[in-house]
Structure 1
Amino acid sequence: MIPAFFSPRSAPAWMACLLVFLFALPLASPARADGTGLEAQATRFWQTVSAKPADRPALLALHFSAGVRERNGDADLLETFAMLAEALGPELASLSPSAVIKGAEGDELHYTLANGQRVSLMLVLSADDPPKIERFGVRPLPPEVAAVAPAALPAAIASHLEAEFKAGRFTGTVLVGRGDDTLYAGAFGLADRRSGRPNTLDTPFNLGSINKMFTGIAIAQLQAAGKLDWTDTVGRHLPDFPNAQIRDRVTLHQLLTHTSGVGSYWNQAHTDRRHELDSQQEFLETFVDQPLLFEPGQGMEYSNGGPVILGLVIEAISGKNYYDYVRDAIYRPAGMTHADHYRRDDAAAGFALGYLMGEDGAWRDNTDELSARGSAAGGGYASARDLQAFARAMADGRLLSQAQWEVLWKAHAPQGRGMDYGYLFSSGTVAGQRWVGHNGGAPGISAEFRYYPADDLVIVVLANQDNASMAVGEWLNALVLTSLAGTPPPPSKD
């Protein structure tokens, strides 16, 4: 079983600060090494992650228990390591922890990377002699930032982002809004490196899995209209669904919370057909014959297949194509004028091309990596200003009532350590403030959206460069929340 919130190639190495590589198994009482031994095991973990791809299989066999390998499979573990290496950089083998935290679920080591990004590694060791890595988790930690006066926030943000851009770590757009006010907005780098077209605040960026939120909203709108119930099975709305296990046993609630056992479409069938995939039905065909990963409701694994099925439910109930429904019922009412599920060959759309670095160290655009169009699981586009408009629509009830929003944001699938998942929404806390939102990514795609309901605060980071939004987003959220602490939110317009 792949770790919760992780799906190879479907998301960046972090899911809105919720991506936790914790492998689900009952907590036993595994033998633990002392602090020195734990740190040695952590070093072996990072050495495995940062090793050359050809060297990783031998290190996996040497340092990881038979149990973790049997539960998850070597291929998925190796892909997890590759994603971590890509996201966190080349210095991992020499990391030293700044702190070791003892906990009931396992021991946690904290690290600070060269770019100031902080991460936690949680390890549970096996009862082998010598012990091996039985379970592990990696999660981002809030950066250690000093608060600035609210009036100084725009200059502090601009200075940091300019430094990240000049260092080659960020191209894209950033927006911070509170109520109707824009506290900061900036664009960096090029949307098209060949033509020299710049990124702007109105440039649509591929959102990756941020689009899952809009699929969740569409389902909530249909529920509010009395056309479905959260506990409905798939078969109630798709009676001819070709997989009987999913049709008869999986509920909408489970699809919305990644607890259905439905996997993802990142497979050979998707790879072979990706340039022609242009509908929810075509995406479904790439994975519908796969067996469930676990009994419905008995586990949790981040899924791109689940939202595709929800997209088909939306089409069956509304009578509209999924793309048209989201455009007509969400994007346009929210004032998201540049948002849409653009086709990969739509030259007139003006979206930012994504860029990823090849093995030769050169940047190339990600056009070949994309399907013909995104799915209900992700791959639509929106600009920074579009997502600010979306936050305003959340605040003023244009799309759903406040009670309905709270149903989407509720911790239907608690993850522990202040990290939760609702109905295709992530949630967490920064500086004691609850946020809701999502992030997304794939090759050349990296995006973060967080909304803080109590503060009516939105923070958007959209990047057209591999893994570029994570460190910027973590730093930005920490700075803004710390600096605005104690300042009253904008007056309610109710």
Structure 2
Amino acid sequence: MIAIHAAGRALWALALAAALCSPPAAAAEPPAAPAAVSNSVLEEQATHFWQTVSAPADQRPALLERHFSPGLRERNSDADLLDTLAMLAEALAPELASLPKPAVIQGEQGPTGELQYTLPTGRRLSLTLAVTAGDAPRIDRFGLRPLPPEVAAVKPAQLPAAIAERVKAEFEAGRFSGAVLVARGDELIYADAVGLADRQSGRANTLDTPINLGSINKMFTGIAIAQLQAAGKLDWQDTVGEHLPDFPNPTIRDHVTIHQLLTHTAGVGDYFNPAHDARRHALDSQQEFLDLFVAEPLRFKPGEGLEYSNGGPVILGLIIEAISGRDYYQYIRDHLYRPAGMTHADHYRSDDRAAGFAIGYLKDDAGAWQDNADVLSLRGSAAGGGYASARDLFAFSRALASGRLLTREQLEVLWTPHQQTGPMAYGYLSSIGGSPERRWVGHNGGAPGISAEFIHYPDDGLVMIVLANQDRGAEGLREWLQAQVEASLFESEDP
């Protein structure tokens, strides 16, 4: 069984939902299903699915038992299923509150049917359900995947205006505040910022405003490790103990490799736990983040599972410090931000308001915007929480293209798929998507009050950047942006 956990990361949540749709290859066939599932039964079971997803956590176990088949629960533990449903609830909130009637139903053709939804934000989802036989049907398998947004291709000359119109609409609807940048090579196609970086003072967002990147920082940690590997200072298959001989967890020290930490296959857990909540306002180093989780047992034997981990990059950050003799934050400044020309990027402390970064905002239970100061760590880690502006990430994309950080051959090692997670793959702390002809690499990030998306097309010179200083502001806009830009630029070029 492969488990993937990533609080707030919609793509990982959808990937796991897709994985749970099918039984393991070696498993026995599930009980015989009816020859066809009617549209009415399909809609009814879909309603039960979404009720279970959107229910309070303490009510989900009873709903799981009521609406999901014993076969599904035998193939996947209740704990894994509940984790998946919780991630989906977080990833899709608050859109679940006004879920529309399915726009397309493909049922009555067998035991499996498909329903397609267009969410209020324009995002589209496909829900596939297999239903058991009998008078009391239950969900026997399920799959959930994003669908490309519906866009009308416009001519390349009209693309900037189309993007501007969409960004304005998202801002006026209260769904976006931040910066958007699209470029090809050195040419900016669209670049603008909307909303306020500080609602109290009225300071506006700009293209130079640093915004919290969330997990996009994982890409930077992966590049730092690759730089040390290229310099002959480490090997991908080195164990943690070869560079941190006094590491306090002997299982991690002796059995976990750098490769596994880079691919989320080490079994290392997360630092978002009660200890983090109690100490977050004092967290200021990789060692302090490590102390939050290092005593916990591994989630699975190294190399035998897949679980999105924030703990793994922290260990990589400590390896970077041990090899380089520098503090992690200083290494990233010296070997990534400065060579790339990222003049506003850093792991700013949350109390350093003179740094000029955007404050993140989320809505409270009453629907009023509040800042995210109470939920942030004092400083981010090697797993995420650093800051950069839209122009900084544009400079980063140009540095990738020019070879200033690593050669193309070295970057391709990072961009080699090691894990397939539904519609995308994962390399060395980098997501990989698209087709072989139109490949993209990148990462996204999210935390209370912020969301961020970075998509880089290494073979086309194209980059898309969406940074939001409010909850869930970037992902839906990025999905539309990517579909619109690809339709306008690539379709006009294809024969």
Scaled by the length of structure 1, the TM-score of the pair is: 0.91
Determine helix, strand or coil for the equivalent of 2:339. coil
Distance change (3 Å), C-alpha of 1:74 and 1:120: closer
Q: What is aligned with 1:7?
A: 6
Q: Is structure 2 residue 90 aligned with structure 1 residue 83?
A: yes
Whole-Å separation in 2 of the counterparts to 1:181 and 1:464: 26
Whole-Å separation in 2 of the counterparts to 1:375 and 1:432: 35
Structure 1 stretches of 5 or more lacking a match?
490-494
Larger displacement relative to structure 2 (59-68 or 281-290): 59-68
Q: What is aligned with 2:51?
A: 47
Structure 2 stretches of 5 or more lacking a match?
none
Distance change (3 Å), C-alpha of 1:148 and 1:302: same
Distance change (3 Å), C-alpha of 1:107 and 1:391: farther
Determine helix, strand or coil for the equivalent of 1:164. helix
Aligned pairs, how many?
Answer: 484
**Does structure 1 retain, via aligned residues, the 8 Å contact 2:14–2:88?**
no
**Does structure 2 retain, via aligned residues, the 8 Å contact 1:30–1:126?**
no
**Does structure 1 retain, via aligned residues, the 8 Å contact 2:61–2:82?**
no
**Does structure 2 retain, via aligned residues, the 8 Å contact 1:340–1:382?**
yes
**Does structure 2 retain, via aligned residues, the 8 Å contact 1:67–1:134?**
no
**Does structure 2 retain, via aligned residues, the 8 Å contact 1:12–1:87?**
no
Distance change (3 Å), C-alpha of 1:276 and 1:204: same
Shift of 1:111: 1.8
Listed as ranges, the matches of 1:374-413 within 5 Å are 374-413=380-419
Distance change (3 Å), C-alpha of 1:365 and 1:332: same
Q: What is aligned with 1:22?
A: 19
Q: Which amino acid aligns with 1:307?
A: P
Listed as ranges, the matches of 1:317-332 within 5 Å are 317-332=323-338
Listed as ranges, the matches of 1:285-434 within 5 Å are 285-417=291-423, 419-429=424-434, 433-434=438-439
Shift of 1:335: 0.5
Distance change (3 Å), C-alpha of 1:235 and 1:281: same
Whole-Å separation in 2 of the counterparts to 1:133 and 1:471: 28
Whole-Å separation in 2 of the counterparts to 1:220 and 1:108: 42
Larger displacement relative to structure 2 (102-111 or 73-82): 102-111
Whole-Å separation in 2 of the counterparts to 1:314 and 1:128: 58
Listed as ranges, the matches of 1:51-450 within 5 Å are 51-52=55-56, 55-65=59-69, 66-67=73-74, 70-72=77-79, 76-77=83-84, 79-86=86-93, 88-92=95-99, 94-96=100-102, 98-100=104-106, 108-123=114-129, 130=136, 132-133=138-139, 135-417=141-423, 419-429=424-434, 433-450=438-455
Shift of 1:80: 2.1
Shift of 1:19: 7.2
Distance change (3 Å), C-alpha of 1:165 and 1:479: same
Whole-Å separation in 1 of the counterparts to 2:12 and 2:196: 25
Question: Identity rate of aligned residues, in percent?
Answer: 62
**Does structure 1 retain, via aligned residues, the 8 Å contact 2:114–2:128?**
yes
Whole-Å separation in 2 of the counterparts to 1:374 and 1:128: 53
Q: What is aligned with 1:35?
A: 37
Shift of 1:358: 0.9
Determine helix, strand or coil for the equivalent of 1:482. helix
CA shift digits 1:153-182 (9 cap, x unpaired) = 010100111011111111111000100000
**Does structure 2 retain, via aligned residues, the 8 Å contact 1:434–1:452?**
yes
Q: Is structure 2 residue 466 aligned with structure 1 residue 461?
A: yes
Determine helix, strand or coil for the equivalent of 1:441. strand
Q: Which amino acid aligns with 1:254?
A: Q
Larger displacement relative to structure 2 (322-331 or 430-439): 430-439
Q: Which amino acid aligns with 1:436?
A: V
Shift of 1:269: 1.1
Q: Which amino acid aligns with 2:469?
A: N
Whole-Å separation in 2 of the counterparts to 1:425 and 1:346: 29
Shift of 1:430: 6.9
Shift of 1:376: 0.5
Q: Which amino acid aligns with 2:37?
A: G
Q: Which amino acid aligns with 2:319?
A: V
Q: Which amino acid aligns with 1:227?
A: K
2:485 is matched with which residue: 480, 484, 493?
480
Q: Which amino acid aligns with 2:63?
A: L
Shift of 1:103: 12
Distance change (3 Å), C-alpha of 1:429 and 1:44: same
CA shift digits 1:398-447 (9 cap, x unpaired) = 00000011110110112344x10000000111796211000000111111
Distance change (3 Å), C-alpha of 1:393 and 1:487: farther
Whole-Å separation in 2 of the counterparts to 1:320 and 1:407: 25
Scaled by the length of structure 2, the TM-score of the pair is: 0.91
Q: Which amino acid aligns with 1:472?
A: L
Determine helix, strand or coil for the equivalent of 1:485. helix
Shift of 1:107: 5.7
Q: Which amino acid aligns with 1:30?
A: P
**Does structure 1 retain, via aligned residues, the 8 Å contact 2:95–2:120?**
no
Larger displacement relative to structure 2 (476-485 or 119-128): 119-128
Give the superposed CA RMSD.
2.8
Q: Which amino acid aligns with 2:30?
A: P
**Does structure 1 retain, via aligned residues, the 8 Å contact 2:416–2:428?**
yes
Distance change (3 Å), C-alpha of 1:431 and 1:246: closer
Whole-Å separation in 2 of the counterparts to 1:303 and 1:103: 40
Whole-Å separation in 2 of the counterparts to 1:157 and 1:285: 44
Q: What is aligned with 1:492?
A: none
Distance change (3 Å), C-alpha of 1:143 and 1:268: same
Determine helix, strand or coil for the equivalent of 2:144. strand
Q: Which amino acid aligns with 2:250?
A: A
CA shift digits 1:67-87 (9 cap, x unpaired) = 377352576356324304415
**Does structure 2 retain, via aligned residues, the 8 Å contact 1:12–1:442?**
no
**Does structure 2 retain, via aligned residues, the 8 Å contact 1:462–1:469?**
yes
Larger displacement relative to structure 2 (121-130 or 273-282): 121-130
Distance change (3 Å), C-alpha of 1:108 and 1:315: farther
